[in-house]
Amino acid sequence: MLDKCQHKDMNITRGIDHARKFKAAKREYVDEVFGPRQLYLHLLATHPDYQLHGAGTRLVGRGIEVARKEGLNLTLVAQPTAAGFYTHIGFSSTGNITITSVDEDEKFTYPVMAYNFTSR
């Protein structure tokens, strides 16, 4: 999902290149920054027919509950269009991952976000 949403012209070469760069960037900007005591939220979506009914909040809420109980950093890499949702429920951006396409004709930017346990 993360790898499709912003792409205008996806093909297998571009897709594989994007996934490889995303993985490397995630390692550098998420895993190395937040360390092993981390719960990373991956691939969240609510079916379009059921958006804005609280399901996304409840799904992330389960992650918040587990991370709080275990004392873990709670992180994710957001689609830019979803960053407002995460901010609304208590995450802050800690920076951006920017990926340049294999042909260097497009750039994709994804906010890295972490949950603020202290302010909640």
Ligand X SMILES: CC(C)(COP(=O)(O)OP(=O)(O)OC[C@H]1O[C@@H](n2cnc3c(N)ncnc32)[C@H](O)[C@@H]1OP(=O)(O)O)[C@@H](O)C(=O)NCCC(=O)NCCS
Distance between CA atoms of residues 11 and 19, nearest Å: 12
Instruction: Work out whether 25 is an interface residue with ligand X (CB under 6 A).
Output: no
Taking the complex as a whole, the smallest distance from the CB of residue 32 to ligand X amounts, in Å, to 20
Instruction: Work out whether 39 is an interface residue with ligand X (CB under 6 A).
Output: no
Taking the complex as a whole, the smallest distance from the CB of residue 34 to ligand X amounts, in Å, to 16
Distance between CA atoms of residues 84 and 79, nearest Å: 10
Cα–Cα distances (Å) from 33 to 16, 24, 91, 102, 112, in that order, read 25, 13, 16, 26, 11
Taking the complex as a whole, the smallest distance from the CB of residue 112 to ligand X amounts, in Å, to 11
Of 6-14, 25-33, 79-87, 96-104, which segment contacts ligand X by CB under 6 A?
79-87
